[in-house]
Amino acid sequence: MQFVFRVFLVLLLTGGLTASAAAHKPIMTGAEQTSLYIPYLKGKKVGMVVNPTAVIGERLLVDSLLKLGVKVTRIFGPEHGFRGNASNGAHVADEVDAATGIPVVSLYGVRKMPPKQDMDAIDVMIYDIQDVGCRFYTNINTLRDIMEACVEAGKELVILDRPNPNDYVDGPILDMKLKSGIGQFPIPITHGMTVGEFARMINGEGWLKNKRKCKLKIIPVKNYKHGMDYTLPVGPSPNLNTQQSVLLYPSLCLFEGTIVSQGRGTYMPFTVLGAPALKGRYEFSFTPQSIPGKAESPLHMGQACYGLDLRAFDTAPLRKAGRINLGWMIELYKAYPEKERFFDQSYSKQMGSIDKLAGTTAFRQQIIAGKTEAEIRRSWEPGLGQYKKMRIRYLLYP
């Protein structure tokens, strides 16, 4: 045994071990593995559902594919637009991309699904959008709509998979009576899946019309396992502009259903929390302003908001535990002087009511009643446990 240990130590120190034994191989997204899908696209008219997160290195995927001889005939843009310069919730118009001359069809304006004439203009569809693993992040709604359109048109959907930066399962299961634009599926707040896996779940659970199934070709992420840390190379939307904001998003987006600002209208959105009425209770403050392309009319615009600065908050323990932070909601509700206004929808117009965001009416009632985090979490069972068992059937990664 001592000899074996010495041999192992020598190999480790001299680099004789394989890369997988000595250090984990670098993650490669589906898009980066061009040899797995470029030959399949040759000679086909290709449609692409993409935004600025669809990259290979520092180059946009569209530009890379065009350079490699792929015939891209349509680009379909989700919320925030193909170039990512539209504000949260803003309708986006059709256009012609100035850089490539390719028609860009908006899926976040007057329509949510590609028109028939645009589906007829393609042979195959590519989907490559970085998700952040949350039910209320609308990209998974777009994914479902694209799958519907592909089924209707008889087209195959090629998904270039990417890691999930919030790769854990937590939160109440959506009560489908509260189904809305920010909650379309009976899943928890963080679903713990990649886009490729989620597409398999949409097919497998019969979430398309008439339980039809979309023909899928998934290019999986290489060297990836669930639970790995992953730093996004590109901010996924205008108000998720840092890795910290992405990691705090599952917890802080719930505040969109309150009178508390999450920093929209600043250059540090989703890393701070505050409201004017909390003056005197907290020292830290920020003042939301109109920022074109990010937040034209943010909550509490021009008013100093007092509250929590989470820019340096260590998210690692939360991710390791696989938990959304409920403590901030409990704390700020207790601190807010006019509690009847805290969840007043007339002051919270950006995303939707707290009930739709949480996916249940119980969460708001529990906060008001002063329930502890442990008590709130217990109420999420058995739904959360049942979801975890169902999720296993669709996983592509260990």
Residue 18 has pLDDT above 90, yes or no: no
Confidence bin at 10 (pLDDT 50/70/90): very low
Give the CATH architecture of domain 34-219: 3-Layer(aba) Sandwich (3.40)
Q: Which residue has the higher pLDDT, 93 or 245?
A: 245
For helices 362-369 and 327-335, the axis angle rounded to 10 degrees is 50
Q: Which residue has the higher pLDDT, 317 or 351?
A: 317
Widest Cα–Cα separation across the chain? 73
Question: Hey, is 336 helix, strand or coil?
Answer: coil
Name the pairing type of β-strands 156-160 and 124-128.
parallel
User: Which residues of the chain are in CATH 3.40.50.12170 domains?
Assistant: 34-219
pLDDT of residue 314: 98
Task: Round to whole Å and give the CA distance between 262 and 275.
Answer: 9
Confidence bin at 20 (pLDDT 50/70/90): very low
Enter the tokens of residue 155: 């087209």
Contact 32, 161 (CB under 8 A): no
Confidence bin at 11 (pLDDT 50/70/90): very low
Residue 348 has pLDDT above 70, yes or no: no
Enter the tokens of residue 113: 């699904």
pLDDT of residue 166: 98
Phi, psi of 121 (to 5 degrees): -85, 0
Once rounded to an integer, what is the mean pLDDT over residues 343-361?
78
Query: Which are the contacts of 53, defined by CB distance < 8 A and separation ≥ 6?
Result: 128, 129, 130, 162, 232, 233, 234, 235, 236
Residue 87 has pLDDT above 80, yes or no: no
Most confident of 12-16, 270-274, 347-351: 270-274
For the chain, first and last CA: distance in Å? 31
Count of alpha carbons within 13 angstroms of residue 32, beta-carbon side: 15
Buried b (16+ CB within 10 A) or exposed e, 171-210: bbbbbeebeeebbbbbbbbbbbbbbbbbbbbbbeeeebee
Nearest to 169 by CA among 361, 390, 396: 390
Enter the tokens of residue 208: 């398309």
Nearest to 85 by CA among 74, 72, 100, 98: 98
Residue 2 has pLDDT above 60, yes or no: no
What does 265-293 look like in DSSP terms, one character per residue?
A: TSSSTTSEEEEGGGBTTBS-EE----BTT
pLDDT of residue 97: 86
Residue appearing with tokens 């203009």: 121
Nearest to 170 by CA among 323, 42, 373: 323
Contact 350, 256 (CB under 8 A): yes
Buried b (16+ CB within 10 A) or exposed e, 24-62: eeebebbbbbbeebeeebeeeebbbbbbbbbbbeeebbb
Query: Which are the contacts of 14, defined by CB distance < 8 A and separation ≥ 6?
Result: none
CA–CA distances in Å: residue 378 to residues 189, 251, 362:
15, 18, 12
Torsion angle (degrees, nearest 10) of CA 168, 171, 175, 179: -70
Nearest to 354 by CA among 323, 329, 382, 385: 329
Task: Round to whole Å and give the CA distance between 160 and 308.
Answer: 37
Nearest to 257 by CA among 361, 160, 154, 354: 354
Name the pairing type of β-strands 71-77 and 59-60.
unpaired
The pLDDT tens digits of the residues spanning 213-263 come to: 999 999 999 999 999 999 999 999 999 999 999 999 999 999 999 999 999
The pLDDT tens digits of the residues spanning 127-156 come to: 999 999 999 998 999 999 999 999 999 999
The pLDDT tens digits of the residues spanning 322-339 come to: 999 999 999 999 999 999
Task: Round to whole Å and give the CA distance between 147 and 127.
Answer: 10
